[in-house]
Amino acid sequence: MPQMYDRVALVGLGLIASSMFWAMKRAGLAKEVTGFARSAETREVAREIGLCDVVYDDIHDAVRDADLVVLCVPVGVMGKVMEQIAGSLKPGATVTDVGSVKGDVINNVMPHLPDGVHFIAGHPLAGTEHSGPRSGFAELFDNRWCLLVPPEGSDPEAIARLRSFWEGLGANVEEMDADHHDLVLAVTSHAPHLIAYTMVGVADDLRRVTDGEVIKYSAAGFRDFTRIAASDPTMWRDVFLTNKEATLEILGRFTEELFALQRAIRQGDGDHLFDYFTRTRAIRRGIIEAGQDTDAPDFGRSPGRKT
């Protein structure tokens, strides 16, 4: 795999950035990788574990000579970070991000983009419930999708280069527009996370009544919810604040379906329940056939499980 960029800067050094670093090293995708994180503690851990070739205390030093700058911070601060680094970017450089919401990020980043610098939004559909600089691993993106969302008028060469870069990290790449991305992700990721948070919250309330039995006898369904509901609170707060419309649209549909199932249970309508569960089972098979999960029943306990 040829070197895609001489110098790559990672801004934010958590799960996604650290996984990108190890995957870049595995494939030899960059000559030098620089890094920056806002807290001295994260920068210290990064130096200790060899995450990035150089970790800078100053964000401007980290991005100054970079050919590719990857914003790996929560969605809610992408615009602010872009504003901060704008004056230090190299002409001809590409800036991308890995945020889970695209419309809001593009709207907040584009006003600060200097002339002669490209911005191509991105989102790897890979993650775990762990966060921080120690949580990354090189295989995170293998055979997962990375969606690129180039704003209108983006340079085709810059897009092609970023696509090859993500392919080098192990991902399959597709392009999408921002609204479509945000709606698809509301269905596949954002609403399910909210439902998991809710279910675990309900069980937590109930725990007081059942005296710890919810945890003690925790079965597969609930355990899977707790794994998802252990995801980073900052990241998920920002996702719901920034993908408001699409998430509310999907939650509205979800509520309607839930009422229909509630009615079927109340009325003892077994046919309705059976047909519904037969249809949903086929979706699970489709995901396995598409290579996006395995049939292995690990209930989220294996290390590095991907959401």
Q: Give CA–CA dist 131/207, Å, rounded.
A: 27
Task: Answer whether 240's CB lies under 8 Å from 247's CB.
Answer: yes
Asked if residue 15 binds ligand NAP (CB under 6 A), the reply is yes
Of 202 and 241, CB closest to ligand NAP: 241
Of the residues 16, 147, 169, 185, which one makes contact with ligand NAP according to CB under 6 A = 16
Asked if residue 122 binds ligand NAP (CB under 6 A), the reply is no
Of the residues 7, 23, 42, 182, which one makes contact with ligand NAP according to CB under 6 A = 42
Asked if residue 168 binds ligand NAP (CB under 6 A), the reply is no
- Closest approach, Cβ 85 to ligand NAP, in A, equals 11
Of 102 and 214, CB closest to ligand NAP: 102
Task: Answer whether 56's CB lies under 8 Å from 30's CB.
Answer: no
Binding positions for ligand NAP, 230-259, rule CB under 6 A: 232, 234-235
Which range, of 67-75, 113-121, 242-250, 272-280, touches ligand NAP by CB under 6 A?
67-75
In the β-sheet with 94-97, what is the strand arrangement from edge to edge? 54-55, 30-36, 5-11, 68-71, 94-97, 118-124, 145-149, 172-175
Q: Give CA–CA dist 9/70, Å, rounded.
A: 6
Q: Give CA–CA dist 11/222, Å, rounded.
A: 35
* Total binding residues toward ligand NAP, as defined by CB under 6 A: 27
Asked if residue 52 binds ligand NAP (CB under 6 A), the reply is no
Of 136 and 150, CB closest to ligand NAP: 136
- Closest approach, Cβ 203 to ligand NAP, in A, equals 22
- Closest approach, Cβ 131 to ligand NAP, in A, equals 3
Asked if residue 98 binds ligand NAP (CB under 6 A), the reply is yes
Of the residues 2, 39, 283, 303, which one makes contact with ligand NAP according to CB under 6 A = 39
Asked if residue 170 binds ligand NAP (CB under 6 A), the reply is no
Which range, of 97-105, 143-151, 212-220, 294-302, touches ligand NAP by CB under 6 A?
97-105
Which range, of 33-41, 148-156, 242-250, 279-287, touches ligand NAP by CB under 6 A?
33-41
Binding positions for ligand NAP, 174-233, rule CB under 6 A: 232
- Closest approach, Cβ 80 to ligand NAP, in A, equals 7
Of the residues 13, 70, 183, 185, which one makes contact with ligand NAP according to CB under 6 A = 13
Q: Which residues bind ligand NAP (CB under 6 A)?
A: 12-17, 37-39, 42, 72-75, 77, 81, 98-100, 124, 127, 131-132, 232, 234-235, 307
